[in-house]
A and B are shown apart, each in its own frame.
Chain A
């Protein structure tokens, strides 16, 4: 019981003291607070994962009513993920921020919002009172906003920050609507009360209520078409904030969806189909746009949308399983979703951290200017490669495990599906396969262009690897990426409690045992066998070629003797056949000046990929709205006299309208008497 006051007190104390300590100790203080609080919450979370949920109810006040904190297996799973990413991200950020030592005030603010963001995220997983939930949600949104605009002197950063701030408030609007409706119907903000209420309420009301919440959370999670803030906010933020935002903050949207599923218990089959379709589209759209990006962090941001799609597919399958009484499908779907939440948190934060390393070393994130970094930054390259393989869903790493569970769910569902569900399955399988293939295309491009070949641009400063301390958290993440790939059975056992909670059935453990564990055991052996095979062949290769002559020559240039690094394949040329093929889905703005004349003048070519949905759903409506509103611009003419006139008109109408109304009623009454 003393843990919650301790948790709050530590956060509070650190926030108050950060501005007063020396710049060297700010980071240490923040990090210590995170670690201690992670220890406290982690302890409770592990207990909940062992099957001992935790509940405490505060009396609250008149406005909020009783405030319930409930830490069940679902909260526990997310708390552990948040803790892990904040511990690694905080450590990385500590070193990443060393470059900004002289910005003392900014660093204080950054430290404060870092602690606030952490506390808000942890609180959101346990608070079960609508009102307090919204307050914590707002704290999270605002602190993330301040975290994003750390480099606020850049115009693009401020713009991205406001874009994010605005969209997260649209999200809050939907959540508020949902909670207000719930409070109006039940007279309480408590989730438990709402749950009891919706248990009797079946049909359209629950579906609409759930959809309202889903839209609200989908903004945060980044489901298409609510994704447009992500590709702006992630590149603008410092690397550790991007990693944390993409790793855990957008997952709180997923958490919200899962939590509302438990609370509202809507018509699961319908909800499942909706989520499945939205997710497949999100996954495909995210990766399709990721491929054409030239800014590394933007590319990664679009991949977050893709992975949210994969997680959503798991949730959709689980929900359909619940709705149709197919417990195996429900188990596999939810297991895939929850495992992928963690997997994505791991490899995506790792990718953002390596992107941060690249940015520190080269001061650019435009992949067309990079190249050959593997020789200058071998460790970063290695870490990026592991993460790239994992995110493409390839064995033997963690991404494959969750995608495999998703596939087994889909193929299991196939066995007893009817016509409508068959269409959905084929759609989902096609979607998942294409997502995997496109992700591979995207990451071969990213890795190949950034790290391999020759440098495409010479930098004025020296490019070198970041310090080893900064790489420590990255190796820790890699450890888990590899461990999940090689020992999936152990990690799946952790999932039994949260999945049984979501599936509402304790038979889940048995299903895991019969359905998944056997395959997982084999996959883990196969992974070991694969590594053994590679090492054996590599040894043989070493042994055989030991006595042979090994020469080093320039790359084969088809007889051309003076190749330059400009003749390499670039990122744009690598994806050219793809962009031609997927042209209807993509949008790109081009600026070019052709080379003309007998004596060629200078020419240039620039292309900026843009988001078609953003154009249709955000830019065009805003433009229409603006042009409509500009008709009334004569009202705002800047003359004080007119403004006073408006005021007088307003006051007069306020006074007169009731009088006129009364007279009108009176008149009607008079006519009636006639």
Chain B
């Protein structure tokens, strides 16, 4: 329960911090960090325009997409406290429930019969499938390291002791940040600020969404960032008591947002044809983590 509320709060400011960082890095003052949320609130109050081609899929898809992210949030623990739902192998459910949301966002893009949105849908489905193995191998490494297979038990048992384990934690952070970037269609993969439909991934899929639905789509994106941020926080706070852990949670989330903002400011978007290689390289990084864990456990014969 605690983690659910914390992620909600973090989701409120996370994207704002990213935008602010980008503004400062490019020499502007930038909007306040609550601007994205007030945008969403404004969208919630608006009417909507639907394409005449669309069917009920287009109407329900944003709701299901948003719900899938909220569902995934319920699975994330916070240090010693479990998530709302916790069981052995819950990370499998986590990945698959997010995939369900993606399934609906892809078919809702196809529902408009547009010549652009299919493009985004095609890319999204390919890239997210390529990112998935990295997550599963990462979780496999943690399971191997700790001997548990649920988020909460794994993170609680994750002790950072030796040098190798620090290396593993840093690599894991890298992988998770990159997965978060891919899942949210952010910088090295996709440029949310681009003006040309041909080079977009996520933005082009929601071209026809408006009003409440668009608000749901956007807020799901904000929550997704905080969601992956929370997993990264969990890597480090294992046994820390709450009075320290809660401020630490926000500090790490804040730092993460700044780092993402900096990445977005100083890295250009990859060519579309290079994205799959980059994404699949993440799997090799997580395999590196896996072998690191084998070293720690002395299972390398």
Contact = CB atoms under 8 A, between A and B. Distances in A.
Interface of A: 371-372, 374-375, 378, 381, 385, 389, 392-395, 400, 403-404, 407-408, 411-412, 414-415, 418-419, 422, 425-426, 429-430, 433-434, 436-438, 440-441, 443-445, 447-449, 452-454, 515, 518-519, 521-523, 525-526, 529-530, 533-534, 537-538, 541, 544-545, 548-558, 563, 565, 567-569, 573-578, 580-581
Contact of B110 (A375, A422, A449, A526): A449
A430 B97 CA distance: 18
Contacts of B147: 415
B299 to A, nearest CB: 6
Closest 4 CB pairs of A and B: A569-B118, A437-B129, A448-B110, A453-B113
Contacts, number: 252
Nearest to B123: A577
Contacts of A449: 110
Given A529-B71, A551-B50, A395 B85 contact: no
Given A441-B129, A519-B87, A557 B63 contact: no
Most buried by B among A418, A426, A515, A556: A556
Most buried by A among B56, B74, B88: B88
B300 A437 contact: no
Nearest to B272: A577
A415 B103 CA distance: 32
Nearest to B89: A408
A574 B121 contact: yes
Interface in B171-188: none
Interface residues of B, number: 83
Interface string B31-65: 00000000000001111111111111100100110
Interface of B: 44-57, 60, 63-64, 66-68, 70-71, 74, 85-90, 92-93, 96-97, 99-100, 102-103, 106-107, 110-119, 121-123, 125-126, 128-130, 132-133, 136-137, 140, 143-144, 147, 149, 197, 207-208, 211-213, 216, 272-273, 276, 283, 287, 290, 294, 299-301
A567 B112 CA distance: 12
B51 A555 contact: yes
Given A418-B301, A449-B110, 9 more contacts: A433-B136, A440-B125, A444-B103, A445-B125, A448-B121, A453-B53, A550-B47, A555-B53, A569-B121
A520 to B, nearest CB: 8
A544 B44 contact: yes
Given A518-B88, A519-B88, A551-B48, A453 B110 contact: yes
A404 B70 contact: no
Given A434-B129, A545-B47, A537 B140 contact: no
Given A395-B93, A436-B132, A444-B106, A452 B111 contact: yes
A415 to B, nearest CB: 6
Nearest to B50: A552
A426 B47 contact: no
Nearest to B113: A453
B50 A581 contact: no
A631 to B, nearest CB: 48
B89 A553 contact: no
Nearest to B213: A541
B143 A448 contact: no
B211 A548 contact: yes
Contact of A393 (B63, B66, B96): B96
Contact of B47 (A407, A425, A453, A548): A548
A563 B52 CA distance: 13
